[in-house]
A and B are shown apart, each in its own frame.
Chain A
């Protein structure tokens, strides 16, 4: 077990640019340790998936990476876009980290339901723009130009995620799968170098899942954006991810290529809740990961009801967070 944890990533990682460099972070809420001494590296242009049973600390990890939570120990550096110098993330505000090139979606979709789909995307795009309130009130030329640009870009992004015919529908009125895609479009609008997707496939049907996998590949290959993915759907993860990291009870228990992870007894044990030896026996008997995939689907629905809000892990902390 320790061997797997300490193993650095697979060979092709050498010499590649690092996006996120997470060193030994620990995050606690009161007495509960949500992330325990986790280290990981994310490389430029890869699709890195973080998997693990519910409560493993995946969303907490996302929240630490995006400045929603501040880990008590450890360091996180970020080189958001290609060629950026690595900068620390700890202590920075969420919107600053977003400006550094990190965009994200939420486990429980968080759109702006009373804005149209187009406007949702524009909110993301426009945080990079300059025109101030006076220019807006007077309708100065530069503001008009920016407005046109942002509308155009928003339409392009909606086209990318296949929502262009929904542009003028209120976000709250979209179907579930559409909302998920709209969230991705909004995140892409902020011109990120890396995008963090928190269970993008949750609640979508098989067709939508396939589309989603295509979309993730597209974002990665065509737009050149690194993708950090949390997902329970093993088929999706295995089909898109270049590399996987497995968390359990706040600790990293495995890291590696998809096929390695599929055979990793510690991972199987974590998912099945059995001991590593039993799992090993099972894995040998049934090398395909079908079992795990099915099992985890069951877990997804169960677990989502116990963890109602992606960001407010602990209700007490979230209130303090908001009022700070």
Chain B
């Protein structure tokens, strides 16, 4: 049981990060019907960007008091989000808009995003480093238990990741469903030409959608960097998984992305470790990724539109 809870919490931690990244995929898909393949690099740049800012502001102090920790967290989230938003915005301007203006085929968008993705991840490698295990300075005892649930302990960092992700996701949900910007995003997602006729500036809406998705991805980059390690190629695997999560929940559907992310994180951590009795697992954690993809394929074959169906507009 303890093991089960531990894995569940681990799954929720990873899943909430997947969900944050998946939101970026889903938002862009919603308005453009395109897979933003370079979104994983937005995530990566969030990690590097927030690292630069945080280490610049805080230096390498250890074990800060709690209020300073909160400050560091806010700065990290904010700077990660800002960098992510900027990169996503630039991405849209450089890699997508010119193609959109000339009505290129869908695959051309995918390939230009792949090009941008290579470019960004390698540029980051050139500018920073190509080491695989960069770490944020330890501001506090992140691995200490924050609370105990039925024998399992939730570490601070896990708690922070889950709570921040939830807050961000709720914020996004409010934004999309409760603001004018949100309604124009939903309008574009539903039917772009009509939205244009209704006076919605499509270019601007798309740009802002990228910015919102990028901010979430960048914040996720910070969270991932603090919880684990970061590198210039860190984006790829979480990116693929998050994309899978977005599809799982029903791509283009915001709540679907959240649910898909959490579900994927939980399933990929729980299934391979079953039966959680401390003994030999039936499947084994080396099959984690296989489990994730098999689940994805099964869900898609059985329910082709994902768990919640597809429409961004319908998320309301």
- Taking Cβ atoms with an 8 Å cutoff, the residues of A that contact B are 315-316, 319-320, 323-324
Judge whether B311 is part of the interface by a CB distance below 8 angstroms. Answer: yes
Shortest CB distance A181–B (Å): 28
Residues of A within 8 A of B305 (CB): 319-320, 323
Ordered by A's residue number, 8 sampled pairs between the chains whose C-beta atoms are within 8 Å are A315-B191, A316-B311, A319-B305, A319-B310, A320-B305, A323-B304, A323-B305, A324-B304
Shortest CB distance B101–A (Å): 21
Q: In the complex, what distance in Å separates the CA atom of A316 from the CA atom of B311?
A: 8
Shortest CB distance B51–A (Å): 41
Kindly report which residue of chain B lies nearest to residue A319, judged by CB atoms: B310
Q: In the complex, what distance in Å separates the CA atom of A320 from the CA atom of B310?
A: 9
Kindly report which residue of chain A lies nearest to residue B190, judged by CB atoms: A315
Q: In the complex, what distance in Å separates the CA atom of A205 from the CA atom of B56?
A: 73
- Extra 5 A-B pairs, beta carbons < 8 Å, given A315-B191, A316-B311, A324-B304: A319-B305, A319-B310, A320-B305, A323-B304, A323-B305
Grouping DSSP codes into helix (H, G, I), strand (E, B) and loop, the B interface class, with mixed when no group exceeds half, is: loop
Kindly report which residue of chain B lies nearest to residue A308, judged by CB atoms: B193
Q: In the complex, what distance in Å separates the CA atom of A316 from the CA atom of B305?
A: 11
- Taking Cβ atoms with an 8 Å cutoff, the residues of B that contact A are 191, 304-305, 310-311
Residues of A within 8 A of B304 (CB): 323-324
Residues of B within 8 A of A315 (CB): 191
Q: In the complex, what distance in Å separates the CA atom of A316 from the CA atom of B310?
A: 9
Shortest CB distance B187–A (Å): 14
Q: In the complex, what distance in Å separates the CA atom of A187 from the CA atom of B25?
A: 41
Kindly report which residue of chain A lies nearest to residue B193, judged by CB atoms: A308
Kindly report which residue of chain A lies nearest to residue B310, judged by CB atoms: A319
Shortest CB distance A269–B (Å): 32
Q: In the complex, what distance in Å separates the CA atom of A192 from the CA atom of B170?
A: 57
Shortest CB distance A304–B (Å): 15
Shortest CB distance A112–B (Å): 15
Shortest CB distance A318–B (Å): 12
Kindly report which residue of chain B lies nearest to residue A316, judged by CB atoms: B311
Shortest CB distance B88–A (Å): 26
Kindly report which residue of chain B lies nearest to residue A315, judged by CB atoms: B191
Q: In the complex, what distance in Å separates the CA atom of A178 from the CA atom of B301?
A: 41
Kindly report which residue of chain A lies nearest to residue B304, judged by CB atoms: A323
Q: In the complex, what distance in Å separates the CA atom of A324 from the CA atom of B305?
A: 9
Q: In the complex, what distance in Å separates the CA atom of A315 from the CA atom of B252?
A: 15
Residues of A within 8 A of B311 (CB): 316
Shortest CB distance A321–B (Å): 11
Q: In the complex, what distance in Å separates the CA atom of A87 from the CA atom of B48?
A: 66
Residues of A within 8 A of B310 (CB): 319
Q: In the complex, what distance in Å separates the CA atom of A324 from the CA atom of B310?
A: 13
Kindly report which residue of chain B lies nearest to residue A323, judged by CB atoms: B304
Q: In the complex, what distance in Å separates the CA atom of A316 from the CA atom of B191?
A: 11
Kindly report which residue of chain A lies nearest to residue B194, judged by CB atoms: A308
Q: In the complex, what distance in Å separates the CA atom of A194 from the CA atom of B12?
A: 59
Residues of A within 8 A of B191 (CB): 315
Shortest CB distance B117–A (Å): 26
Kindly report which residue of chain A lies nearest to residue B314, judged by CB atoms: A316
Question: Top 8 closest A-B pairs, CB basis?
Answer: A323-B304, A323-B305, A319-B310, A324-B304, A320-B305, A316-B311, A315-B191, A319-B305
Shortest CB distance A221–B (Å): 43
Shortest CB distance B182–A (Å): 20
Q: In the complex, what distance in Å separates the CA atom of A295 from the CA atom of B310?
A: 40
Kindly report which residue of chain A lies nearest to residue B306, judged by CB atoms: A323
Shortest CB distance B292–A (Å): 22
Shortest CB distance A277–B (Å): 39
Kindly report which residue of chain B lies nearest to residue A322, judged by CB atoms: B304
Residues of B within 8 A of A319 (CB): 305, 310
Q: In the complex, what distance in Å separates the CA atom of A324 from the CA atom of B311?
A: 16
Q: In the complex, what distance in Å separates the CA atom of A315 from the CA atom of B311?
A: 11
Shortest CB distance B29–A (Å): 13
Q: In the complex, what distance in Å separates the CA atom of A225 from the CA atom of B189?
A: 44
Shortest CB distance B270–A (Å): 29
Q: In the complex, what distance in Å separates the CA atom of A320 from the CA atom of B305?
A: 7
